[in-house]
């Protein structure tokens, strides 16, 4: 972060590692899938570089860790932080599981590919004018964009209350979200104040970490970091 923004609270978006369905492109909401061997290595690699004392995600700067209720997210947290770091965070009451970070409920589209979803919707007489877009249309038997927005906004409100008064690093106030591809991209849209159907194309690879913060130390100027200068290693 530039020197002028040093101390500004951050929100780290930690996507879980690869599963068989994320590898094949199948929509994975409530289905419990384990990380693949490659998924485990993805999280270990990012954690080794970015998590720990003196690194980007330094436990001493973390105020809260919110984890999705899905096992693949919990496993990612367990891999990213070593046992001592996990124990310290948990003993301080900083780690919690929340349904607000569960992946989008895909309903009838669970386990399907995009092309299969669009074919199904065509059979149902939907999308005559344009192809299905989850950000605008939601999921049959699952969640609508408005429902996902409501639960994300609730979490953002809680995070902003934590950050208020700590915009210059007065207290440790970094937040870590361990969750899923669609959900974390949806969170980014809402963090920036955009509606779900706003055309903001985003990519977040399995095991990757994104960063949100604020401009000018202002709670009213939420932003995302396109690039990041990492801490100097002694």
Q: What is the pLDDT of residues 162-190, one digit of tens each?
A: 999 999 989 999 999 999 999 999 999 99
Domains annotated on the chain, with CATH = 3-224 (3.40.50.1240)
Active-site residue set: 16, 103
Enter the pTM of the model.
0.94
Is 160 one of the annotated binding-site residues? no
Q: What is the pLDDT of residues 36-46, one digit of tens each?
A: 999 999 999 99
Is 190 one of the annotated binding-site residues? no
Alpha carbon distance 37, 94 (integer Å): 29
- The radius of gyration of the chain's CA atoms, rounded to the nearest angstrom, is 18
Helices (H) and strands (E) in the chain, counts: 8, 6
Q: What is the residue-wise DSSP string for 20-65?
A: HHHHHT---SS---PPPHHHHHHHHHHHHHHBSTTSSB-GGGEEEE
Is 31 one of the annotated binding-site residues? no
Q: What is the pLDDT of residues 120-157, one digit of tens each?
A: 999 999 998 999 999 999 999 999 999 999 999 999 99
Alpha carbon distance 138, 182 (integer Å): 12
Place of tokens 């964009």: 145
Helix (H) or strand (E) holding 2, with range, is none
């Amino acid at each position: 972060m530039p020197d002028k923004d040093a101390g500004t609270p951050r929100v780290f978006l930690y996507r879980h590692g690869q599963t068989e369905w994320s590898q094949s492109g199948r929509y994975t909401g409530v289905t419990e899938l384990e990380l693949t061997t490659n998924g485990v290595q993805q999280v270990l690699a990012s954690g080794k570089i970015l998590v720990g004392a003196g690194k980007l995600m330094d436990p001493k700067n973390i105020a809260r860790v919110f984890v999705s209720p899905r096992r693949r997210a919990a496993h990612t947290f367990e891999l990213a932080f070593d046992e001592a770091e996990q124990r310290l965070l948990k003993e301080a009451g900083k780690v919690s599981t929340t349904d607000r970070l569960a992946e989008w409920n895909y309903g009838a589209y669970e386990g399907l590919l995009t092309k299969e979803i669009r074919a199904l919707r065509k059979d149902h007489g939907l999308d005559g004018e344009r192809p299905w877009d989850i950000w605008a249309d939601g999921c049959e038997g699952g969640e609508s964009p408005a429902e996902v927005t409501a639960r994300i906004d609730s979490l953002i409100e809680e995070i902003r209350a934590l950050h208020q008064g700590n915009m210059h690093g007065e207290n440790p106030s970094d937040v870590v979200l361990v969750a899923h591809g669609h959900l974390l991209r949806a969170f980014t849209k809402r963090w920036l104040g955009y509606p779900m159907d706003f055309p903001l194309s985003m990519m977040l690879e399995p095991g990757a970490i994104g960063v949100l913060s604020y401009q000018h130390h202002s709670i009213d100027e939420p932003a995302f970091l396109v690039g990041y200068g990492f801490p100097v290693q002694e």
